[in-house]
Amino acid sequence: MATGQLFSRTTQALFYNYKQLPIQRMLDFDVLCGRETPSVAGIINPGGDGFQKLFFGQEEIAIPVHSTIEVACAAHSTADIFINFASFRSAAASSMDALKQPTVRVVAIIAEGVPESDAKQLIAFAQANNKVVIGPATVGGIQAGAFKIGDTAGTIDNIIHCKLYRPGSVGFVSKSGGMSNELYNTVARVTDGIYEGIAIGGDVFPGSTLSDHVLRFNNIPQVKMIVVLGELGGRDEYSLVEALKQGKVTKPVVAWVSGTCAQLFKSEVQFGHAGAKSGGEMESAQAKNQALREAGAVVPTSYEALETAIKETFEKLVEEKKIKPVKEVQPRQIPEDLNTAIKSGKVRAPTHIISTISDERGEEQSYSGVPMSSIVESGYGIGGVVSLLWFKRSLPRYCTQFIEMCIMLCADHGPCASGAHNAIVTSRAGKDLISCLVSGLLTIGPRFGGAIDDAARYFKDACDRGLAPYEFVEAMKKKGIRVPGIGHRIKRGDNRDKRVELLQRFARSHFPSVKYMEYAVEVEIYTLSKANNLVMNVDGAIGSLFLDLLAGCGMFTKQEIDEILEIGYLNGIFVLARSIGLIGHTFDQKRLKQPLYRHPAEDVLYTK
């Protein structure tokens, strides 16, 4: 066990099992105390490497993240404190690994419930190698104005209130982390504050004892008096009694053992800590308090009187000129996190993203204000979801049926279509699903599947301007523009695309008006008079019918319809639908275990 000071203003630690809040609290404490370097040198996250961004004052810093304890210790040889936030299942093993590192001097084990047999092994190894274990089941410790472990002393506001940003004259040790915070506050009210405070942990076998730390404090010149808070259960306090009797502790000790109320119960009572239960008269709080009093410690008559006892002891030392009270200093300002400041109403900040179509907050997610449960229970279907997320309204059932029909009819068009071909080649190259899907989607454009919006725009413009079909077609010809939605590589006037017929039949049966579709049909009649392959394709059918859907359902203004066409909503239908087929082709090739594709040379015209 160390015989003097554990920490200083240059102490650095390695933090095991990344936890953002306790690390940030350590760094904020560093800034509050005016430290030049962060107290956290590195983070150990098993299986992870890289950096973790945190704040050091107003500056963001990148703290290295290492995958193993050995690598971290080698990289940060001056970091001699190991703060272990592992769970009780792995805390013992990782703590032993840390103790075996020559650079590690102190190990703090935060987890509760570490098996007692494991705790004993850690204690034996630490004692044999002159190392210190704080915990298990500890919040840690603090040297005021210098260094703190994890969440010790709580928030910055509490640290300032307890004057822990600068050293005082009192050494404090306790079993309880929660009561440590209470005593830090008490000590700050009636003395010049804490110099060092340790919570040894509430388990049955703590890595270091109350007396271990009292003896350390006795060797630290800046510590002028010592406050001890014990509890019923175990016999740790009796080692302090012996040290007092033997004259090993020469500084005033104010002590109290909590748990005096246990005598009111007829049977043995287990308090909050694993070690806080009385196993006999000697382990009772009353017996311990009496033994400490007889050994020379200042022991009040109750916990309520503890503050007065501390105050009187401190004032006596001041009168004897053994303590020169520390002069108060102004702590540095810690920048407040934006989220905290916003919640408290101190600042306002603009948002970076606007979303009007979905909201994952609250009890359940919603699409355009419709709760997910309603979407499922009311049978919205894929078409209904598209209407909510794309058009921000619940369209009539015939509209959502039409959307679903478009998705079904456009899901695939065989392996020879350019998109499917790309996806197949990419899949056979051994690429992942996303790569295969994207390679197919990237072929969608004016020549493949991307003409729905253009077909709708041109048909709408011509129809709204009252152009006769031949005037429209001839005008497009003069501009050198092919009529979108007209023409097919395979289908002919005497062999129509069945998909077009299905869409038109549905629209005539369900749509209130098919004005734009009829105009497109008239255009088709004219183009077929010129060539038998200038038949309406599925892009033209969907484009013209979507115009009728938008105009006929009575839920969109003219400006909204124009905006939908401008943004490219209708091509989105093809992208959504064809993704199904592209994914299917990808899975098909992988299922068939097809080899790498190489295009046959005989299918290439080589020329100069």
d(CA 440, CA 236): 72
d(CA 371, CA 51): 39
Query: Residue 166 contacts by C-beta under 8 Å, 6 or more apart in sequence?
Result: 33, 144, 145, 193, 326, 328, 329, 331
Pair type for strands 140-143 and 132-134: unpaired
**The two three-digit tokens of residue 455, written as one number:** 């077909």
**The two three-digit tokens of residue 123, written as one number:** 């204690």
DSSP 328-396: P-PPPPPPPPHHHHHHTTS-----S---SSEE--SSS-EETTEEHHHHHHTT-HHHHHHHHHHHSS---
CA separation (Å) from 205 to 89, 153, 208, 330?
Answer: 17, 23, 8, 40
Task: Output Rg (C-alpha) for the chain, integer angstroms.
Answer: 39
Interaxial angle between packed helices 569-591 and 452-464, expressed in degrees from 0 to 180 and rounded to the nearest 10:
160
Instruction: Specify whether 273 is catalytic.
Output: yes
d(CA 405, CA 382): 10
Catalytic residue among 66, 76, 213, 273: 273
Output the CA torsion sign for 381, 383, 387, 390. Answer: positive
d(CA 449, CA 574): 6
d(CA 516, CA 506): 15
The set of catalytic residues is: 273
